Structures are given as structure tokens and as C-alpha cells.
Amino acid sequence: MGCRKPRLRITTFQRGGDRSALPALEGAARFYLGRLASTRLLNTLDVRVECRVGAPSDESVEPFTLEPPLPVRTRGYVVSRPKSFTVRLRRDDSLERKLVALSHDCVGVTQRAQGRLRVSRDGTVRWGGDDFTRADWRCWPWLTERFLLGDRLYLNLKLAVLSGDLDLGTDWRPTLD
């Protein structure tokens, strides 16, 4: 019995604008999640990557999702239900900025899917047995993990594209800086 590819379901969506980056975003999401999660978990995930105009608005966030106000560096956020996640990115950002934001958000997807990050309906967040509130979001340890792992994943993606091991279906060629 050979190894089967995980049944990870990724869909991309964008209304209007240039849709040429959508296959690259799908390939990058597969790359990122394939390095973060086990095959068993990947078989249960359903991820939708949406590119939308402007910044995400608070009205579109589900009440049980607790995400901090977006720092300048973060361009997307994750809205989730058990094993079903929507990652929203800014449509007008460059492909490179979308790929960086997607790397951070894929870490967030795995944190939630693995049950390490739990958000209750009253806004309390549980991480590693500790409870956090929205007031102290700057010291949230899962954000530190999200950015450190996300940056490492993005660097690995760039190396895979440059070495020819990964084809995102675009003419995007990263630089190592």
C-alpha cells in the first residue's frame, strides 16, 4: 500500500480584478499546510482563500473569531468553523505580499485545526492552558509562533520555487533578500 496524497480541499475566490494569482495562492497554501500538518489532519481540512478589496471589516468576522486589529505587516485573517477555514487576503496587494500573509494565516489555520488555539464565544482565547483577552493581544504567544513559522515557511517556498522543485504556475521569481 503506497502513500496517498492528502485530500486537502483548497478553493480560491476573487470577485473582479486580475485572477492570475489564484493558482499560485492555491499551490502556496498546499505547500504551507503540507509542511505544517499531518496527513490525517490534511484529510479533514477545507480551506477557502478569498481575495477581497480593502481591509477586512469587523462586520464580516464571525462572533467566535478573535483576531487582533491588523498590524501593517499582516494582510489577511482567518475565519473558521471546525476544520473549515476562510483566509481573506487583500485583492490589490502584490503576489509576494499575499504569499507572506498566506504563510502566516496557514500557521493560524493549523493552530486552530489542531486545537492548540481555541476561541470561545465570549471572546476568551485559550492557548497552552492559559486564557487571554483581546486587551492584551500584543503579547499573544500564538501570534509570535504565527509570524516566526510563517516567515520560515515563506522562505522555504521561495527556495522551492528558485530551485525548480515547486511550480506555482506564474512568472513570479522571488529574490533571496
Closest CA to 56 of 87, 27, 32: 87
Closest CA to 8 of 32, 30, 38: 30
pLDDT score for 99: 94
Residue 168: inside a domain:
no
pLDDT score for 175: 81
- Per-residue confidence at 32, pLDDT binned at 50, 70, 90? very high
pLDDT score for 82: 58
Residue pair 127/140 in contact (Cβ under 8 Å)? The answer is: yes
Cα–Cα distance measured from residue 90 to residue 77, given in angstroms and rounded to the nearest whole number: 10
The whole-chain average pLDDT of the chain stands at 79
3-state secondary structure 33-93: HHHHCCHHHHCCCEEEEEEECCCCCHHHCCCCCCCCCCCCCCCCEEEEECCEEEEEEECCC
Mean pLDDT for the stretch of residues 17-38: 92
Q: How confident is the model over 78-124, as pLDDT tens digits?
A: 554 558 888 999 888 899 999 999 999 999 899 988 888 887 777 77
Q: How confident is the model over 68-88, as pLDDT tens digits?
A: 333 333 445 555 455 888 899
Residue 153: inside a domain:
yes
What is the extent of the structural domain holding 108?
A: 9-163
pLDDT score for 165: 92
pTM listed for this prediction: 0.80
Residue 147: inside a domain:
yes
pLDDT score for 23: 92
DSSP lists the bridge partners of residue 81 as: 84
Angle at 153 between CA 152 and CA 158, to 5 degrees: 100
Residue 176: inside a domain:
no
Question: Residue 31 class from Cβ within 10 Å (0-12 exposed, 13-18 middle, 19+ buried)?
Answer: buried
